[in-house]
Every structure is written in structure tokens, then in C-alpha cells.
């Protein structure tokens, strides 16, 4: 009986450690933490073209949609549409901020053309 109790206790400890590690390494948690701290973080599954990416920059959450197409070398992501989750959060962002976001996405997808949806699109056309 004591042996069974020790085994169950050991299994519970291993399960607890596994759960804590899984929680700490969760990319969604890292995204939320970066969003709260107003830092840059890109959450993207590059292997899954159908899955949108999430990006946080200066406390503003953006979502991006990827489209697959052909380049001279292979099938690649050739078009990306980005929009803010909450338009009110854009207050205080400047043109340079959007260019930084585009540059960081271009590092991941060099063949992609990046298009912004309203109201960022109109803002970038003004200048």
C-alpha cells in the first residue's frame, strides 16, 4: 500500500512539473506578457500558411493574414494583410512605428508585399 501511495505521489509531482513547464513555454502567454509590457512580439506558425499571425507592438495588438503564391524559386508567402485588433490602441503610433513592424515581418517573409487595412492604410498614404 505504501509503495502505491509513493508511486501516485511521484506521478503527481511529475505531472505538476510538466504542467508548469508547459505553461511557462506557451507562446500565447509570451504574447500576452509582451502586450502588457508594451514590447514587440510576433506569434506565428511559419509551417501553417492558413494560420494568421499575431503581433504586439507598443501595447497594440495586430493580426496578419498570409497568402501563398509563387515566386521564381518556390511557393512562398507573397502577400500579407495586417490590421489592428483595436483601433483605439493606435493612439500615439507614428509612421516610423509601422515601418519597423513591416521591416520585422519582412525578415520572416522577404518575398511578401505588406498591405495594411483601414485606418492604417489611409494614415500611411497621407505622408
pLDDT for 59-91, tens place per residue?
899 999 998 888 787 888 888 999 998 888 888
Q: Structural domain of residue 43, as residue ranges? A: 27-126
To the question of pTM greater than 0.85 for the whole model, the response is no
Give, in order, the Cα–Cα distances in Å from 66 to each of 4, 9, 100, 105.
Answer: 52, 47, 18, 11
Residue 115 is assigned to a structural domain of this protein: yes
> Residue 13 has what pLDDT?
95
- Asked, for residue 106, whether it belongs to a domain, the answer is yes
Q: Is residue 111 part of a domain?
A: yes
Q: Are strands 113-116 and 75-84 parallel, antiparallel or unpaired?
A: parallel
What are the tens digits of pLDDT across the range 82-116?
Answer: 999 888 888 888 888 888 999 999 998 888 889 99
Answer yes or no: is pLDDT of 17 > 90.
Answer: yes
Closest CA to 109 of 55, 39, 61: 55
Domain count, the chain: 1
Average of per-residue pLDDT across 22-30: 88
Amino acid at each position: 500500500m505504501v509503495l502505491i501511495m509513493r508511486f501516485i505521489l511521484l506521478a503527481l509531482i511529475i505531472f505538476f512539473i510538466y504542467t508548469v513547464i508547459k505553461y511557462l513555454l506557451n507562446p500565447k502567454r509570451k504574447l500576452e506578457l509582451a502586450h502588457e509590457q508594451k514590447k514587440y512580439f510576433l506569434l506565428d506558425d511559419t509551417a501553417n500558411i492558413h494560420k494568421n499571425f499575431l503581433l504586439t507592438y507598443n501595447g497594440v495588438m495586430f493580426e496578419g493574414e498570409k497568402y501563398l503564391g509563387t515566386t521564381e524559386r518556390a511557393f512562398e508567402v507573397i502577400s500579407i494583410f495586417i490590421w489592428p485588433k483595436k483601433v483605439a490602441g493606435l493612439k500615439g503610433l507614428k509612421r516610423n512605428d509601422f515601418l519597423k513592424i513591416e521591416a520585422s515581418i519582412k525578415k520572416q517573409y522577404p518575398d511578401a508585399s505588406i498591405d495594411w487595412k483601414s485606418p492604417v492604410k489611409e494614415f500611411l498614404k497621407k505622408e
